[in-house]
Chain A
């Protein structure tokens, strides 16, 4: 298959402008004749649904939570980047573009990233106009903070709840459109399959999670904004419900999956406290602005942190990366923590933790200032660990957090199935092999508010779309397949719970396809996963009926898909014989343990297509060229 990225011609600064002019427009009177399905009500999906309705399209929006306001975007803490240069510290669209391409370890598409940087500016304007209460200075103007991987302050934030405030702004816009009748909202409704008619995405099949009813919805185009798949690891910072089902089902209907092995392990999470652990909690990366990361120099040093003298502490990030110090990008900071713990210098239960110490910042700025900046995060930490971080250094450890991989999309955010568009974390587009902090919110909103509303118009205006109804055989067959799968899950009557399988899969993925990977480990995982999957389909037990809320059934369907995706992740990780960004293959590292890219052979996007055989997906490559940011070894020293 040829992967046509459809990047517009011309100099990078003009591509988006030119494309906007060249795209076909839908006549305003015709817009309301078009129905668009948006799956997901997070920043990406919610923004898209609201904006499309404002433009006049008929929108149907779906989410599995009981309200669109609860999408996982709500949990983002730290902030959102934008090249406003309000701080006059040398930021610009070009610099944000540059930082993002470099931060992504040269595995993203320049044109997309440049557009993202351009649009970042409009996002802040839009959100402020909606009433998002971003932090401000005494003069009344917007405040900024710096974030990992950048040397300028370009991150806008609302206390430690930036994602919440952005999502609420977006949700309110969505509710406004729901009230006007432009959007029909389907909460507690889970997409379980995609319907393709004549090679085009024309609808979805969903399960009403309250009544259990399985139903089809038809439309002229389908947009997936269903978030990331970090929960393949079972323990991650994602919400419990986050899942890969929508994109995985679309993948099995023909959408190529790009770079599935690019996962981000976030350096600052609260360490696991026991085997009962159900999820991991992120401590915003912004903490690294004032906190210093260290471990004892001596592995045998088991004294409480406050008794360890300065000289016997290893502030390893400051030591190894003097110019970025504690603000080194995530992949680097995570790996450094793992290294320290692997060397036996980790702290806390099981030696899986490093200190994030605020003592110096408190001395310098006073406890009040620290409270103002991070008060709610400190409280959260104390609630979970029962330790007071004003007095004792925090303990942190890396945890799966974000997935750069996702469905392959072109410049218009359309997947390899015509009519199926993918936005937000669900697509692969802008972050390459590693995402910089505060860039996911930016991307989700850029996609949702500013890109998809225009590019979908181009698709609708330039495509002949015969009317379809859910009576077509394609719809009926898909509904029947989904019903059958559900019945099967309920009928297995085995002995093990869904969670027990999920935990086992997660542990395996964490060990073999987590922060560091080896060919050997991946091969082993590829041997075990199919066995485990088979056992799942043989001996899982899903109690209850289909006709009402059945949370075990919901989980079972999601875990079944994780099992399949896990295999693809390992295949991708195994094929990529290099280390880049979040993908670290132990075989490919420099002498001092840094990632060693192989640009000659791997400067491409790996797009995998489903062939009917999970063990043998088909690989297509979209070559990446770097005209503006010259390929270079990433250094944060």
Chain B
């Protein structure tokens, strides 16, 4: 097992597995968020349910997520260091041929997501950033936050980063895990594109809609 964790493929498998756990969470979270469109009661009740009757499950989920994030970031750091060491002298001229923008920005995208998640938790979960947010009033908190264009901008940018991260990550993770079937066009990734687009759209809708005043 230690050998596995030290190997590049082992570390990538950790990334892919934890990445997919996070994908699962993100999709659930997105569906949860979209309930704002059903009005304040719906989403606030949903939050109450999570923090109330389902709180044990919530804590379980948090624990899993925390472990996933830590492992994902650990592997990201280990692999990035390794790859930086693998080419000490770069090329004077270099022309990428087929790699996607998403793939080339996966690391910086990851950093953006990490920063976002920290800020995001301080904002909505611990309510540290702005103590005027109210416990239990998710709907109201969202209104407060996304009334401010700066916050909207932060979220829109972060969601773009997430969308790209998933556009590459969803496709590559099934290959990392060795479960993708061979094809004649291995670089095609329609499913990943669709899923990434759904996640991006599903999340972006909320801040944008709030800002645009569609939810009053």
**Do A and B come into direct contact in the complex, CB within 8 Å?**
no
Binding site for A on B (CB under 8 A): none
